[in-house]
Amino acid sequence: MDINKQIEIIKRGAVEIFSEEELRKKLEQSIKFRRPLKIKAGFDPTAPDLHLGHTVLLRKLRQFQDLGHEVYFLIGDFTGRIGDPSGRSEIRKQLTKKEVAKNAKTYKKQVAKVLDTRKLKIVFNSRWFDRMRGLEFGKLLTHYTANRLLEREDFTQRRNNKKPIFMSEFIYPILQGYDSVMLKADVEIGGTDQIFNLLVGRDLQNDFQQPQQVVLTMPLLEGTDGIQKMSKSYGNYIGINEPAKNMFGKIMSVSDELMIKYYELLTDEDMDSVKKMHPKEAKVKLAKIIITQYHSAGAAEKEAEEFTRVFSQKETPVDMPVFKTDGKKNVLVILIESKLVASGNEARRLIKQGAVSFNNLKVEKDDFVPNEAGILKAGSRRFLKLIL
């Protein structure tokens, strides 16, 4: 494929490229010497499930695969134990080696839903960091200054608010940058919150006398609340391994404005055609496209029919999960234990928004105790049958 067409595909949905001129030169060399570019994206396995926010990067990686380039899916099983400070106002929880290994194992299966695993190179950064001795690690840190690290916006905010910056967070960008050195990456892809870390990779490659990688940033996908970026910790995520019913309900709950962004970043649909559709029709189509990709076309049709039956005809679902309670558990505990919600944060948010009801009566407090059998509803389309 000629260079202009490749760049057109690569730029779709991207926020920035540092720089397009360098990318063009790399593509020219790739064609001239018949050498595919090395495309890198790193994922710290801090949670067992990938969500639609992750697939923004995965879809871009798939485009590079289809263009004939080598994709390196880097699992940060070492850096995941430290915690990326990007976009955080406080330190991340540090995971154990066992937790990280367990999460990483699930990633390899999940990415197969987007990427061509026959062409994918999966690498773990513990391969070089676990072998690194203290002196070698100390030398690595001499390649970057504290002054530069303090230029990070999130670190600046913490300093201004007199919040601590831990040394483990301080060195994280250097570790991520060193991954690019070890892989000799030509291009690194990341979210807009990763820009500082990605540029550190360019600096370190230059110090190690390597050609600098091109940096390509993709927008962050807001979660179902339309405010925070999609994250399991915020309880606003749509996991790619979730049941089709849950995925359909969550997609139908997003705002019309956010739906357009989901179309842009999660599908290949023509946006002019999408914008001419009725919002409800467009949202159903979006849900069907996504569920088809991560489940099947049959599952998508089934959930679309169920949605029409329940909401157009004002009926309750035929098939809903059953939860046994003793008449003493409060609604917050039931929502979490039944897994009707992803987290306690999401449960509290839904109750606060008045989006939880029991037998058609709004639940106003999270300590409410359903002491009879009935139907618990969370959000617009999640139902739970309670029995004593």
pLDDT at 90: 52
The residue behind tokens 């109750």 is 351
Q: What is the pTM of this model?
A: 0.77
pLDDT tops 70 at residue 92? no
Residue 27, token pair as written in the block: 């593509």
pLDDT at 380: 74
Range with lowest mean pLDDT among 170-179, 244-253, 307-316: 307-316
| CA pair distance 279, 255, nearest whole angstrom | 9
- Looking at residue 43, its amino acid is F
- Taking only the tens place, the pLDDT of each residue in 184-198 is 999 999 999 999 999
- Can you say whether the dihedral through the CA atoms of 257, 261, 262, 268 is positive or negative? positive
pLDDT tops 90 at residue 342? no
pLDDT at 273: 93
pLDDT at 253: 86
pLDDT at 84: 66
pLDDT tops 70 at residue 337? yes
- Taking only the tens place, the pLDDT of each residue in 179-231 is 999 999 999 999 999 999 999 999 999 999 999 999 999 999 999 988 899 98
More confident residue, 70 or 13: 70
pLDDT at 49: 82
More confident residue, 277 or 326: 277
Residue 159, token pair as written in the block: 């300093």
Other beta carbons within 10 angstroms of residue 109's beta carbon come to 11
pLDDT at 326: 86
pLDDT tops 60 at residue 121? yes
pLDDT at 91: 52
pLDDT at 210: 97
pLDDT tops 70 at residue 88? no
Report, as an integer, the average pLDDT of 94-121. Answer: 85
* Most confident stretch, 33-47, 58-72, 357-371: 58-72
- Taking only the tens place, the pLDDT of each residue in 269-317 is 999 999 999 998 999 999 999 999 999 999 999 999 888 877 665 666 7
Report, as an integer, the average pLDDT of 243-268. Answer: 92
Report, as an integer, the average pLDDT of 313-331. Answer: 79
Domains of the chain, earliest start first: 3-218 (3.40.50.620), 242-312 (no CATH), 322-387 (3.10.290.10)
pLDDT at 225: 87
DSSP string, 337-376: HTTSSS-HHHHHHHHHTT-EEETTEE---TT----S-EEE
Any idea what DSSP says for residue 310?
A: I
Instruction: Give 23's pLDDT tier (boundaries 50, 70, 90).
Output: very high
pLDDT over 90, % of the chain: 56
Instruction: Name the average pLDDT for the chain.
Output: 89
More confident residue, 190 or 81: 190
pLDDT at 87: 53
Judge contact between 192 and 218, C-beta under 8 A. Answer: yes
